[in-house]
Amino acid sequence: MSVQSNRARQRTKAVVASWVGTTIELYDNAAYGLAASLIFAPLFFPSTEPLVGTILSLSSFAVGFVARPLGAVVFGHFGDRVGRKTTLIVTLIMMGTATCAIGLLPTYDQVGLLAPVLLVICRILQGISVGGEYGGAVLMTVEHAGSHWRSFFGSLVNTGTTAGLLLANLAFLPVFSLPREDMLGWAWRIPFLISAVLVVVGYFVRSAVEESPDFARVKESGGVASRPIEQLLRHNGHTVLLLAFAILAAGVSFTMATVYSLTYGPTGLGLGNDTMLAVLLPATVIILLAIPVFGALADRVGVRRVFLISAASLVVLPFAWFALLETRQYWLMLLGFALLFIGYSANYAVVPAYFAQAFPPALRYTGMSIGFTSGLILGNAFAPTIATTLFNATGSWYSLAVYMGGTALISLIAGAFLRYSDADADATAAVATTAP
C-alpha cells in the first residue's frame, strides 16, 4: 500500500473514530441537559417552589462545565505527553461509566440528600471526561487531514455534537410521551443506560486508529513538552484566553436553542415540551447538513473570514429567533431555529481548524482543551440559568436576545485578535519553540 493511500485510509479512520466518540460524548451530555431541564427537578431537587427546583437542576447541568477545565488540564497533559489515541479511549470509557451510573441512581424520595450529591458527582465525572475529549478528537482529525482539508474534515467531527443531541432527543421523545408517573418512575433511566452500548462501539472504533502523525513527529524529534501546562501559559497564555472568548458565540447560541428553549417553551410561550421538541428535532438536521458545507467553504475562502462573518451574524440572529418563536406558529418557529442554526453552523464549523492551528503541535492538546473548556464555562455552562433569571426578572425575550448577541460580539472581537497559522499541519518547525 502506498504512503498516500495509507494516509487517506488513516484520515478516514480518524474522522470516523473522532465523529463516533464525539457523538457518544455529546449524547451523554445532551441527555443530562434534557433531563436537567424537564425531569431532574422533582426527582433530585424537590421544592415547594417549582422555579427553585428548576434553577437547582439547571445548576447541576452547569457543574459539568465547571469540571471540564480539570479534565482539560489532566487529559491535555497526557494527550501532549503520551498521545492523542490512548487519552481519547480513557475519556470515552469515563464518560460512559458516569452516564450509566446516573441511570442507576436512587432519587431524593429514596435516599434524601444523598441523591443530588451522587448526581452531582456523576455530572462532575462527565465534565472531566468531556474536558479532555473535544480537543483530542479535533486534533486526531485535523492532524490527519493535511493542509488543504483541515476545515472540512474538522467540521465533520463537529457534526458529532449535533448527532449526539439528535440521538439524545430521540431517546427521550418516547419517554416524554409516557404518563408522568411512568416517566418519573422508571422510563427516564433508559436513555442513560443506553450509553453503555454506545461506549462499547466507540471503544472498538477508536482502537483501530493510528496515532496522530503530528504527535508522532513531535515524539520522534524529541520535542514532547515535559510540562505542557507551564509551557503553554508561558508562551501561549494570551491565545488560550482569546480562544475562550472566541467560542462564546457558538456555545451560548447552541445551549440556548437546545437546552433553554425547552424551558422557555412552557414558561415563556405556553407551549408543551412535545411541541418544542417537534420544532427542535427537524431543525437540528440543518446543523448536520450546514456544518460540512461551511467547513468546505472555509477551505476555499479562508477559515478566519468565515469565523468572523458568522460571529457577526450571531449578534443579530437571536432577535429574529425569539421574534419568530413569539408567533407560536410551527413553520415560523422552525424558520427561527433554522436561521439561528445556520449562523451557529458557520461559526462552529471552522472552530477545529481555526483554534488548533493557533497552537504549536507539542502544546495543542493542552491549549485546545483548556481554552475550549474555559469558554464553555463562560458560555454554555450558565446560559440556561442566566436566561431563566433574566426572563423571570424582565418578563421579556429582549433581555435574552441582548444576552446572546452580546456574547457573540465578544467572540467577534476575540476572533479578530486570534492569530491563525496557515502552515501545513505536517510542519514540525514549531516544535522547537516548545522545548523545555
Residue 223 has which C-alpha cell?
Answer: 520535542
Residue 12 has which C-alpha cell?
Answer: 478516514
Please tell me the predicted confidence (pLDDT) of residue 31: 87
Question: Does pLDDT of 205 surpass 50?
Answer: yes
Residue 198 has which C-alpha cell?
Answer: 454506545
Domain 7-206+223-434, what architecture?
A: Up-down Bundle (1.20)
**∠ CA(130), CA(131), CA(132), 5° rounding?**
90
SS (H, E, C) 321-351: HHHHHCCCCHHHHHHHHHHHHHHHHHHHHCH
- Euclidean distance between the first and the last CA atom of the chain, given in angstroms as a whole number: 38
Question: Does pLDDT of 425 surpass 80?
Answer: no
8 A C-beta contact, residue 356 and residue 139: yes
Question: Does pLDDT of 389 surpass 50?
Answer: yes
8 A C-beta contact, residue 401 and residue 319: yes
Closest CA to 380 of 263, 276, 258: 258
Residues 13-53 pLDDT 10s: 778 888 888 888 888 888 888 888 778 888 888 865 666 77
The Cβ of residue 338 has, within 10 Å, a number of other Cβ atoms equal to 18
Q: Is 105 left (phi over 0), alpha (psi -120 to 50) or beta?
A: beta
Please tell me the predicted confidence (pLDDT) of residue 426: 38
Question: Does pLDDT of 423 surpass 50?
Answer: no
8 A C-beta contact, residue 259 and residue 33: yes
Q: Stretch 393-420: mean pLDDT, rounded?
A: 92
Question: Does pLDDT of 272 surpass 60?
Answer: yes
- 144-158, 326-340, 342-356: range with lowest mean pLDDT: 144-158
Please tell me the predicted confidence (pLDDT) of residue 2: 59
- Matching residue, cell 425575550: 397
Q: Which residue has the higher pLDDT, 362 or 256?
A: 256
Backbone φ, ψ for residue 272 (5° rounding) = -75, 165
- Matching residue, cell 463537529: 158
Confidence bin at 434 (pLDDT 50/70/90): very low
Transcribe 82-142 into DSSP letters: T-HHHHHHHHHHHHHHHHHHHTT---HHHHTTHHHHHHHHHHHHHHHHHHHHHHHHHHHHH
Burial, 268: exposed, middle or buried (Cβ in 10 Å; 0-12, 13-18, 19+)? Answer: buried
Instruction: Kindly report the average pLDDT of the chain as a whole number.
Output: 84
Each domain of the chain, given as residue ranges in start order, spans 7-206+223-434
Query: Alpha helices of 247-361 — where are they, by DSSP H?
Result: 248-255, 261-264, 273-301, 303-325, 330-349, 351-356
Q: Which residue has the higher pLDDT, 47 or 349?
A: 349
Closest CA to 215 of 405, 351, 333, 79: 79
Distance from C-alpha of 273 to C-alpha of 360, rounded to nearest angstrom: 46
Q: Stretch 122-130: mean pLDDT, rounded?
A: 89
Distance from C-alpha of 127 to C-alpha of 64, rounded to nearest angstrom: 4
Please tell me the predicted confidence (pLDDT) of residue 435: 36
Please tell me the predicted confidence (pLDDT) of residue 429: 37
Q: Which residue has the higher pLDDT, 311 or 86?
A: 311
Residues 250-265 pLDDT 10s: 999 998 998 888 888 8
Closest CA to 96 of 204, 258, 210: 204
**Identity of the residue numbered 23:** T
Residue 271 has which C-alpha cell?
Answer: 407551549
Q: Choose the most confident range, by mean pLDDT, from 102-106, 135-139, 181-185, 354-358.
A: 102-106
**Identity of the residue numbered 231:** Q
Predicted TM-score of the model (pTM): 0.79
